[in-house]
């Protein structure tokens, strides 16, 4: 793989309260574990997936579809880990 590896995945917000502060912080923390750039978007609005303010700006409520885009050496791993995290309802009960 090259440094220009670009991967995109989609996930639906499944938890009752949506992408509020706690899961947004956990999303950013998980994204920061990867070297690749991470972009998160909803309905055409794209933000830096490693920025808590950016992620919160999406105001993603339950049922929202998010597009996770990674660019870099470990983009595939980053997108898959983040996609699973969203699909699992941010591990909230």
Is 20 one of the annotated active-site residues of the chain?
yes
What letter does residue 13 receive in the DSSP assignment?
A: -
Contact predicate 85/10, CB 8 Å: no
Closest CA to 23 of 60, 77, 75: 60
Indicate which residue of 12, 14, 20, 73 is catalytic: 20
Write out the catalytic residue numbers: 20
């Amino acid at each position: 793989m090259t440094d220009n590896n670009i991967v995109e995945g989609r996930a639906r917000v499944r938890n009752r309260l949506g992408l509020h502060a706690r899961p947004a912080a956990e999303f950013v923390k998980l994204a920061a574990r990867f070297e690749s750039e991470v972009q998160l978007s909803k309905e055409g609005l794209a933000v830096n997936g490693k920025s808590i303010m950016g992620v919160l700006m999406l105001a993603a409520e339950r049922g929202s579809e998010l597009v996770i885009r990674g660019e870099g050496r470990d983009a595939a791993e980053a997108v898959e880990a983040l996609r699973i995290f969203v699909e699992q309802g941010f591990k909230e009960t």
